[in-house]
Structure 1
């Protein structure tokens, strides 16, 4: 209850131009927003770009926030939409990561942390993770976003309903269809 009142005060101040209030609001949901962007775009730089673009949109359109949902839910909706826009724009773009980095004619090697799990366990987990990520890529955008929001990010049905601006029943049916489709895809891969 006190948290809701504090959020409303911060929103009111931010709408009147108080940058520190806006910053406080953003800091409260920044990590989860980044995780959403990263799960969508699978690249740190792209996720950071999406986050930056989202925060600019949020700052510019804060006066349009009606406060009929929580602020962080509104932020996540904007992040999801921004990621979807970026995916549409970059649909054919492929990215690769290198373990070498050259900057100012100096070459550095990325450090790889030592995993305590046995190599075969690590391989098995990675393979399973890659299969799921590959399966997610074969889902439609609507199905992919609902699975990411619920099963990866752990949002409640109510929060997803607010983020996607649809009914809870729609969320549940979309999620059920998306999970069934993902299961079909995973079974086809094996």
Structure 2
């Protein structure tokens, strides 16, 4: 099995089969990223396809400073950001994000599938509330938060994928979490703990 570097070298020389293998190795993760950022499967599939097309066209300029996987993630993220900026009508995202910012807790605690119908309704409403909050984030903040919370990227990996300093990544994620928390509190879907009595 050829390495990623060997596949890239072949693809840069016009080997379509090598590029097809690079696509096959990365398409699921790229599609999942695009789907979550765009908010629906159809747009996600189109954006993922556009990202791979951009990669094929850009291969002659790809110098290999990062892995192909990191590079295609950056291309996909940029395609999605462009889409979100142009899109007038905001799409809903159905996702669970960490609201406390703790390193060890990637997702908010939600009821499991065995709960009552009432719990299912509460869970669905929480997801809708999170989606509404995410709609109010800038595309850049949403992008960083999705990469962190859904894709499980480290700050360093996000920095490489987006071409940002690690400090900038941390700042964006922190601001995104704060903005999302404020939105959830203002809508009555999240408690800040400051008004509770013990």
What range is the shorter-chain TM-score in?
0.7 to 0.9
Cα distance in 2 between the residues matched to 1:148 and 1:140: 12
2:17 aligned with 1:20, yes or no?
A: yes
1:30-45 alignment, distance < 5 Å: 30-45=27-42
- Partner of 2:148 in structure 1? 150
Contact 2:130-2:184 at 8 Å conserved across structures = yes
Cα distance in 1 between the residues matched to 2:127 and 2:151: 15
Alignment match of 1:68 (pick from 65, 70, 73): 65
1:76-91 alignment, distance < 5 Å: 76-91=73-88
Per-residue CA deviations over 1:98-121 (Å, capped at 9, x if unaligned) read xxxxxxxxxxxxxxxxx7653222
Q: Which has the higher helix share?
A: 1
- Count of equivalent residues: 168
- Partner of 1:159 in structure 2? 157
Alignment match of 2:178 (pick from 173, 177, 180): 180
Measured on the aligned residues, the alpha-carbon RMSD in Å equals 1.9
- Partner of 2:107 in structure 1? none
Contact 2:35-2:44 at 8 Å conserved across structures = yes
- Partner of 1:168 in structure 2? 166
Alignment match of 1:29 (pick from 20, 26, 31): 26
For structure 2, list consecutive stretches of 5 or more residues without a partner in the other structure.
93-112, 189-198
For structure 1, list consecutive stretches of 5 or more residues without a partner in the other structure.
96-114
Structure 1 residue 87, shift from structure 2 partner: 1.8
1:91-102 alignment, distance < 5 Å: 91-92=88-89
- Normalised to the residue count of structure 1, the TM-score between the two structures is 0.82
